[in-house]
Structure 1
Amino acid sequence: MDSGITVTGTGQAQAPADLLRLQLSIGRSASDVSDAVDAVAGKTEAAKAALIGQGVAAADIRTSSVNVFPEYGDGMRVTGYRASHTLSVSTADLTGFGRLLKAVVAAVGNDLGLDQLSFDIDDKTALVEQARHSAFADARDRARHLADLAGRELGVIDSVIESRNHGGYEPMDFAVPLKGRAAGSPEIAVSPGQQTVEASVTVRWSWQ
């Protein structure tokens, strides 16, 4: 027989973003695999140099993936090879996206792709605590209401389980190559906005 009540509460906390994250890809196709790999290696170093030249710390530029694979034509005949290198970049300069993008396009040209842009919060500790507090209060209010409807009184708390999905940012996917005269075009402006952290707790009370 059930001797208590279990309720899940949710809570949120918001704060302005303080971190910009970019995912940049450098890719090149060639008839010879070594040519493709060498070209991507050189372009990758040029991209890193451009980012560092714009104030991004070297420690905030890291490799996300490296791929080398054959390309096929009619009859599954190998027609060439494709090499790519994906970089994840983070910076606290939230207004510098357009400037960074132009600098990297100038260094890499049409071999560059912008795969993803997102805003985040570097240290979510305080926000997580606020969201958790709101989630527990929500669970308690729900439990009290349900107990009143059932004509019962809440007793002691038997268990508390927290979900671990604190989130923090919404990525914006681009996944398109950057071509044409992007390096000489006006800078693209982006808006960081507010970031939301969510918490969820499941609490079980025994009946009094």
Structure 2
Amino acid sequence: MDTGVSVIGSGQVSGTPDVLRVSLGVEHSAPDVASAVARVGERTDAVMAALRGQGLEESQLATSAVNVFQEYREPDSAPAYRASHTISVETKDLTGFGALLNAAVDAVGNSLSLHGLQFDVEDKTALLAQARELAFEQAKERAGQLAALAGFSLGSVTAIAETYQQEGIPRVRLSASKAAYDSALNITPGDHTVSVSLEVNFSWA
């Protein structure tokens, strides 16, 4: 069995977000599956057109999920089927959320729902590099202290395992209705934090 010490170090670095990702839902219920699917497709197209009208490109829009299911109804009630699409929106305009939401609401009214939004850093390379450095320094310091307490000298690194995390994504669901939101709706991005944990194994000198 190898001898030495294994420790975990953590590093956390914050950066300024430069991209906003929004998840919108479009839903419709109908007595049959075909009608539900057809209608939700039309409404999704309407939302996409409204968002393009706000200056978004095709590459910034995507249908990320499609669902169809039978709704629960009381016994002896006529069956109903609900179809839904999830639209993923990505924009560099961090202040334009209200205008985008209003455009989508105007297109389909109460068929729209807001699943969530996330401010993010598109390129995290530099942040991750800094977080790794902090994590390794912390691991080395802890290992050195443990080695001294055990009466050993710290040797070379024999293995490293990395775990990467980022801030949790807030998830909200709001029913949208026409004229419900101010186009100047103020959404503050704050800082985006990435965290790296390193499990580092050191041998004894």
Report the TM range for the smaller structure's normalisation: over 0.9
- Any idea what the Cα deviations from partners look like across 1:127-155, whole Å, max 9, x if unmatched? 11110111001100111111222222111
SS of match in other structure, 2:85: strand
1:186 Cα shift? 5.2
1:160 aligns with 2:160: yes
Q: How does 1:12-51 map to 2 (within 5 A)?
A: 12-51=12-51
* 1:172 counterpart residue number: 170
Residues 65, 97 of structure 1: CA spacing in aligned structure 2 closer, same or farther, 3 A cutoff?
A: same
| Structure 1: stretches of 5+ with no match in the other structure | none
Would the aligned equivalents of 1:102 and 1:187 in 2 still touch at CA under 8 Å? Answer: no
Q: CA deviation at 1:57?
A: 1.8
**Helix, strand or coil: the match of 1:114?**
strand
Does structure 1 retain, via aligned residues, the 8 Å contact 2:102–2:179? no
1:148–1:65 CA distance, 2 compared to 1 (3 A): same
Give, in whole Å, the separation in 2 of the partners of 1:41 and 1:191.
32
Q: What is the RMSD computed on CA atoms of the aligned residues?
A: 1.7
Aligned 8 A contact 1:128 1:199 in 2: yes
AA matched with 1:156? S
**Equivalent residue for 1:206?**
203
Matches of 1:55 and 1:93, distance apart in 2: 10
Q: Distance in 2 between matches of 1:50 and 1:64?
A: 18
Please report how far the alpha carbon of residue 156 of structure 1 lies from its aligned counterpart in structure 2 after TM superposition: 1.6
Q: Determine if contact 2:157/2:203 at 8 Å carries over to the other structure.
A: yes
CA distance in 1, matches of 2:4, 2:195: 26
- Secondary structure in 2 aligned to 1:85? strand
Distance apart, 1:62 and its partner CA:
1.1
Q: Does 2:188 align with 1:191?
A: yes
Aligned residues: 205
Secondary structure at the counterpart of residue 187 of structure 1 = coil
- Aligned partners of 2:156, 2:183: CA distance in 1, in Å? 62
String of CA shifts for 1:76-97, please: whole Å, max 9, x gaps.
7552211111111111111111
Answer yes or no: is 1:134 the counterpart of 2:134: yes
Any residues of structure 2 matched to 1:20-99 within 5 Å, and which? Answer: 20-75=20-75, 78-99=78-99
- Closer/same/farther in 2, CA of residues 206 and 111 from structure 1, 3 Å limit: same
The superposition leaves residues 170-194 of structure 1 with CA deviations (integer Å, 9 ceiling, x where unpaired) of 32222221125326x4532111010
Distance across 1 between alignment mates of 2:23 and 2:94: 15
TM-score using structure 2 length: 0.93
Distance 2:39 2:123 in 1: 37
SS at match of 1:128: helix
Q: CA deviation at 1:123?
A: 0.6
Gaps of 5+ in 2: none
CA distance in 1, matches of 2:69, 2:160: 49
Matched AA of 2:170: M
How far apart, CA to CA, are the structure 1 residues paired with 2:78 and 2:131? 54
